[in-house]
Amino acid sequence: MDYRSAFAISTAGMSVEKLRLDVTALNLANMNSTKGVDGQLFKPLRVVAKLGAASFASQFDASSSLASLLPAGRVEEMNVAPRVVHDPGNPDADEKGNVQLPGVNHLGEMVNMMSALRAYEANVVALNTAKTMAQRALDIGGAA
């Protein structure tokens, strides 16, 4: 594996974790919204990281490119029940005074945000380590 593969792996990991952070921020921002622009209730989202390779054997195939083996993030809607809050003064309240809010779990989103941030940082460390190793290999090769 050359050093560019290590860079590509860390970069793919960082892009998935950045997407997780963006989706978590979107969920938290819409946590107390009642209706979207389309008049529908916001549905919480999640990122699913999926490998590009179709099978385990294809990962060892010499013809498969590195890009097809790296993870990519896909955003999906979560199927969760909305939260019901009693707020008779809200213009979106029903006849009983209840308002439906997105089923965003605040604590779960904060944990997701912290784990995505730590994973992003780990990928940065791996990228910097690969960069240092490549620089040292070039220094060794240039000294001869």
pLDDT for 58: 59
Window from 27-31, 108-112, 119-123, 137-141 with minimum mean pLDDT: 137-141
pLDDT digits (tens, 9 = 90+) for 83-111: 999 999 998 899 999 999 999 999 999 99
**Contact between residue 81 and residue 103 where contact means Cβ atoms under 8 Å apart:** yes
Q: How far apart are CA 106 and CA 110, in angstroms?
A: 6
pLDDT of residue 65: 59
For residues 68 and 21, the model is more confident at 21
Q: What is the pLDDT of residue 21?
A: 95
Task: Report yes or no: 120 and 129 within 8 Å, Cβ to Cβ.
Answer: no
Per-residue pLDDT tens over the stretch 25-82? 999 999 999 888 888 999 999 999 876 555 556 555 655 555 555 777 889 999 999 9
| Amino acid 67: pLDDT | 59
Question: Which residues touch 137 (CB under 8 Å, ≥6 apart)?
Answer: 3
* Residue 39 Rama label (left phi>0; alpha psi -120 to 50; beta): left
- In total, the chain counts a number of residues equal to 144
pLDDT of residue 69: 59
Query: How far is 12 from 10, CA to CA, in rounded Å?
Result: 5
Q: Which of 111, 105, 134 is nearest to 28 (CA)?
A: 105
